[in-house]
């Protein structure tokens, strides 16, 4: 009789809908924080501009003409639901233009590096002279030769921000090449939203108990094999009539 009751409970719990992963898009509007600082005008605050750039260049007299881009997305505690984790996250930017209109085009293959910014900053007053510090690049895209979308895997970074493990000061996009990589900023209007920087994240059940999306307290799949059957019933009976406690249910 008890076995029937236990089996009925297991089958009823198994009928519950599985918690699904969900896609989250983070697309700041004009109120978002982004800026491209310019070495040639080190005190110029460009936070209100609708263009961003990344490249390294030196003028004929040795002056620095490099530019670096800084992006910040509103991610922190509260981004994840209960028992959720970041399974995948991508930073996406579109190489949308260069200096072609000004007759200044460098055709060498470009590179674009992404780093984690380690200091607070604001687009309203960020300049080349006071730009925030950032860590060494965690990913570099090489041989950029054509306009189009570019993406970085930022899964671990977004997870750390979302759990509060590290403070969110955003990303730095830098280039060691002279090829001018131009992007539209959050302030840019009248263009497809995919041409502005954005984040895509897949978040879902953390599976911290048995890796199948449910905590053990409410999970009928006691051995985590994705199937509810008599093996799970046997485990439950062993614990129910024993003294070893719930740890006996862990594979």
Q: What is the pLDDT of residues 178-209, one digit of tens each?
A: 999 999 999 999 999 999 999 999 999 987 54
The rounded distance, in Å, linking the Cα atoms of 73 and 75 is: 6
pLDDT category at 62 given cuts 50, 70, 90 is confident
170-187 burial code (b ≥16 CB/10 A, e <16): bbbbbbebebbbbbbbbb
* CA dihedral sign of residues 99, 67, 37, 154: positive
State the chain's mean pLDDT as an integer: 82
List residues bridging with 234 in a β-sheet: none
Res. 87 pLDDT band, cuts 50 70 90: very high
- Most confidently modeled range among 15-24, 25-34, 55-64, 216-225: 25-34
Question: Residue 247: which pLDDT band, with cuts at 50, 70 and 90?
Answer: very low
Helices 2-14 and 230-240 pack at an angle, to 10 degrees, of 120
Count of residues making up the chain: 251
* Strand duo 139-144 + 110-116: pairing: antiparallel
């Amino acid at each position: 009789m008890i076995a029937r009751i236990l089996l009925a409970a297991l089958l009823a719990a198994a009928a519950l809908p599985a918690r699904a992963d969900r896609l989250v898009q983070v697309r700041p509007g004009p109120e978002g924080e982004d800026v491209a600082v310019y070495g040639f005008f080190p005190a110029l605050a460009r936070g209100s501009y609708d263009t961003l750039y990344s490249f390294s260049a030196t003028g004929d007299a040795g002056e620095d003409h490099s530019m670096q881009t800084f992006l910040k997305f509103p991610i922190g505690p509260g981004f994840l639901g209960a028992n959720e984790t970041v399974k995948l996250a991508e930073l996406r930017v579109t190489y949308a233009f260069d200096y072609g209109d000004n007759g200044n085009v460098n055709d060498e293959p470009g590179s674009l590096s992404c780093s984690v910014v380690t200091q607070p900053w604001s687009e309203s007053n960020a300049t080349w002279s006071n730009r925030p510090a950032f860590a060494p690049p965690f990913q570099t895209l090489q041989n950029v030769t054509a306009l189009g979308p570019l993406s970085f895997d930022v899964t671990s970074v977004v997870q750390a921000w979302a759990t509060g493990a590290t403070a969110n000061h955003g990303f730095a996009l830098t280039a060691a090449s002279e090829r001018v990589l131009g992007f539209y900023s959050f302030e840019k209007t009248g263009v497809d939203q995919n041409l502005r920087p954005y984040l895509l994240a897949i978040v879902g059940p953390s599976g911290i108990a048995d890796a199948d999306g449910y905590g053990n307290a409410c999970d009928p799949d006691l051995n985590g094999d994705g199937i509810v059957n008599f093996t799970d019933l046997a485990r439950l009976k062993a614990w129910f009539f024993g003294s070893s406690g719930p740890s006996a249910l862990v594979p």
